[in-house]
Amino acid sequence: MTKRFEGKRGLITGVANRRSIAWAIAKRLSEEGAQLAFTYQGERIEKNVRDLADSVSSPLVTACDVRVDEDVERVVREAGEAFDGQLDILVHSVAFAAAEDLEGRFTDTPRDRFWLALDVSAYSLVALARASEPLMDAAGGGSILTMTYLGGERAVPHYNVMGVAKSALDSSVQYLAWELGQKNIRVNAISAGPVRTLAARSIAGFPTMEAIVEERSPLHRPIEADDVGGGAAYLLSEDARNVTGTTLYVDGGYHAMGM
């Protein structure tokens, strides 16, 4: 395999277990030569993340609550210390909405949980990008990638407030791409079709979503986490050096269909 990321240093957020999209991306980057640091959220998944990180000889595994600016700044500072003050890659694969808000009506979403979903799922990208900017500038540029979904562009039953959060995330990608491009920092997103992850199981009706996408997409096949890993490797590599502010759809072409 081509070592497109030889000598590159990356920070990966959002790994929970082997089925995580963030892990599929990390594994692909590591296979192509990248050195990676990882964050985890909460003691419940710490061991999983540490075991996975050890398998790719990670120099840093650290806790991060993306709702706390000081925590975000500390994590990026620790990554800088592990990587000699430079960072080439940031993968943002963090999202959260209360389970009850992915089952009932969007109209009934309470104010506090609305802001929680937007804070964790969208503003965290802004906070991480801001903290990472000096390290990427020191590296001569960098690439930031986040995970979005079609539910931010169209109404998807049961996706509810998470769709609104993804819409905010999509817009954030474009504004960050504009501002950070002056420092040769690219910002892109991947919109994946339904992938069987731990997070996906919290969405009511997920099996139905999965079946509909497979039935109606031009390629008529399921989406795997490794498919997203391949798309991410492209966007994060120099092969995409003139690609920024955009969304790559890894959904079998479902997004192109009218019905």
Residues annotated as catalytic (active site), given as ranges: 149, 159
Tokens of 14: 């959002």
Residue bearing tokens 């490794």: 226
Burial class (CB in 10 A: 0-12, 13-18, 19+), 214: middle
User: What is the identity of the amino acid at 255?
Assistant: H
Reduced to 3 states, what is the DSSP secondary structure of residue 36?
A: strand
Strands lying side by side in the sheet with 9-13: 60-63, 35-40, 9-13, 89-92, 142-148, 185-192, 247-250
CA 91, 97, 98, 104 dihedral sign is: negative
Q: Which residue in the block uniquely carries the two structure tokens 């277990």?
A: 17
Please state, in angstroms and rounded to a whole number, the distance separating the CA atoms of residues 240 and 230: 13
224: buried, middle or exposed (CB in 10 Å: 19+, 13-18, 0-12)? Answer: middle
Cβ neighbours of residue 34 under 8 Å, at least 6 residues apart?
Answer: 5, 6, 8, 9, 10, 88, 89
64/70 Cα distance (integer angstroms)? 10
